[in-house]
């Protein structure tokens, strides 16, 4: 378990960013702007130290005292199938769905990014460790999902397909209309599932317009 980072660097970062951005609601102060700014403050040290400061900032925001990075602990959590288990809130269910339907993983195989240690085979092995799903079974499940739902060749109607431009998952989504009854809504400047959150006065204009656009389709289809 990693419970301490560089205290001087972390305290400086925490004081600086909490004074600027903390508004009393857990997590709402963590924006792309905030994280980019902490990574740009040279006085916090080299890029590694700045990244450590980001980690500390995240931990303090969510009142995490110790960051457990043990895979054995993770394995224990993910194989606990009880309703009261530490991963019962959705983490275990999501990983199971990736192992039996999707196969979506954030890996470090690409040379065009700074991280390492989490290649695709690491994620695939988790399917075997957690759910006894082999690599072959995973590949078969993904193929079956694409065949059933159509992949990018969806044969259906009356489905709105929204994506946010700064949601990494949009690379897997449909960002252009397939047909009049399969419209895509590509929302510039918004992140994961932003269109599904309650409207706020701080919302970008394009997000508000996207919600209205979806609402018009729903009205039209429900009246048909």
Residue identified by tokens 């339907």 is 101
Q: Is the dihedral of CA 197, 198, 203, 209 positive or negative?
A: positive
Alpha helices in 22-165 (DSSP H): 32-38, 47-61, 71-78, 91-97, 120-131, 135-149
Residue-level pLDDT at 190: 92
CA–CA gap between residue 100 and residue 148 (Å, rounded): 13
Q: What is the pLDDT along the chain (224 residues), one digit of tens a residue?
A: 444 444 444 444 545 444 444 444 566 667 788 888 889 988 889 999 999 988 888 888 888 888 888 999 999 999 999 999 999 999 999 999 999 999 989 899 999 988 889 999 999 999 999 999 999 999 999 999 999 999 888 989 999 999 999 998 999 999 999 999 999 999 999 988 899 989 989 899 999 999 999 999 999 999 99
pTM over cut 0.85:
no
Residue-level pLDDT at 23: 45
Residue 14 in 3-state DSSP?
Answer: helix
Task: Give the pair of three-digit tokens for residue 57.
Answer: 């900032």
Residue-level pLDDT at 159: 96
CA–CA gap between residue 186 and residue 173 (Å, rounded): 10
CA–CA gap between residue 105 and residue 119 (Å, rounded): 9
Nearest to 57 by CA among 3, 4, 14: 14
What torsion do the CA atoms of 41, 45, 46, 47 make, to the nearest 10 degrees? Answer: -50
Element (H, E) at 214: helix 205-223
């Amino acid at each position: 378990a990693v419970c301490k980072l560089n205290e001087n660097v972390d305290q400086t970062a925490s004081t600086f960013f909490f004074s600027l951005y903390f508004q009393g609601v857990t997590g709402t102060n963590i924006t792309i702007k905030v994280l980019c700014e902490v990574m740009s403050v040279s006085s916090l040290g080299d890029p590694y130290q700045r990244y450590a400061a980001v980690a500390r900032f995240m931990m303090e925001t969510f009142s995490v005292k110790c960051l457990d990075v043990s895979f054995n602990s993770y394995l224990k959590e993910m194989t606990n199938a009880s309703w009261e288990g530490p991963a019962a809130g959705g983490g275990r269910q999501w990983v199971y769905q990736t192992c039996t339907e999707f196969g979506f993983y954030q890996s470090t195989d690409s040379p065009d990014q700074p991280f390492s240690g989490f290649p695709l085979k690491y994620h695939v092995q988790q399917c075997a460790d957690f759910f006894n799903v082999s690599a072959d079974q995973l590949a078969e499940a993904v193929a079956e999902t694409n065949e059933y739902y159509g992949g990018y060749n969806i044969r259906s109607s009356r489905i709105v397909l929204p994506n946010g431009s700064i949601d990494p998952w949009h690379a897997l989504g449909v960002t252009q209309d397939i047909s009049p009854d399969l419209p895509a809504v590509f929302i510039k400047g918004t992140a994961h599932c932003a269109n599904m959150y309650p409207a706020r006065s701080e919302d970008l204009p394009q997000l508000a317009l996207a919600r209205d656009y979806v609402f018009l389709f729903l009205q039209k289809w429900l009246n048909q």
